[in-house]
Amino acid sequence: MSNFSRYYLQQMGITLWQCHKPQQFPHLASQAEKIALPKHCQILIVANDKLAPHNQFINQILRTLQLELSQSHIITEEELKYYYQTPEWIWTIGCKQSELAAKKQLASPHLDVLLHSAQAKKQLWQQIVSYM
């Protein structure tokens, strides 16, 4: 919560409480602490390493999905826990399936494996075709 918000609540006479053991109340996790996806995001790309957004292979897959690079948002697996919105597509690269329940989900091995394995490319292609 920002300092301005705290001040505003204080001026209204609202007492702020802070939980010292939040792990005991996992069902009360506040979305205020989480991040909304950018408005332009149609596909969330989750990878175990930070990917270069201008990777040629990623651009080819996006074009196949009829999406532009500007409609994508690339994050690491660690950053995923900070997001609460679900885009239309989620593509996990080299990490476990996303907790977010997107309408369309793709899963592939690490990008290095994907680039050099015809079998991995075939499996990714089969996933894409199943949504078309």
Is residue 23 a part of any domain in this protein?
no
Q: In this structure, what CATH number is given to the domain that contains residue 43?
A: 3.40.50.10220
Is residue 41 a part of any domain in this protein?
yes
Number of structural domains, the chain? 1
Determine the structural domain holding residue 50 and report its residue range.
36-130
Is residue 77 a part of any domain in this protein?
yes
- Contact in structure between 59 and 111 (CB atoms under 8 Å): no
Nearest alpha carbon to residue 128 among 108, 113, 106, 95: 106
Alpha-carbon distance of 24 to 19, in angstroms, equals 9
Is residue 81 a part of any domain in this protein?
yes
Q: Is the pTM of this model over 0.85?
A: no
pLDDT digits (tens), the chain, 132 positions: 566 777 777 788 887 766 666 566 655 555 456 777 788 888 888 887 777 666 888 888 899 999 988 898 888 887 877 777 788 888 888 887 766 666 788 888 888 888 889 999 999 899 999 988
Alpha-carbon distance of 77 to 90, in angstroms, equals 12
Is residue 53 a part of any domain in this protein?
yes
Is residue 60 a part of any domain in this protein?
yes
Is residue 123 a part of any domain in this protein?
yes
Is residue 98 a part of any domain in this protein?
yes
CA angle 101, 112, 130 (to 5 degrees): 40
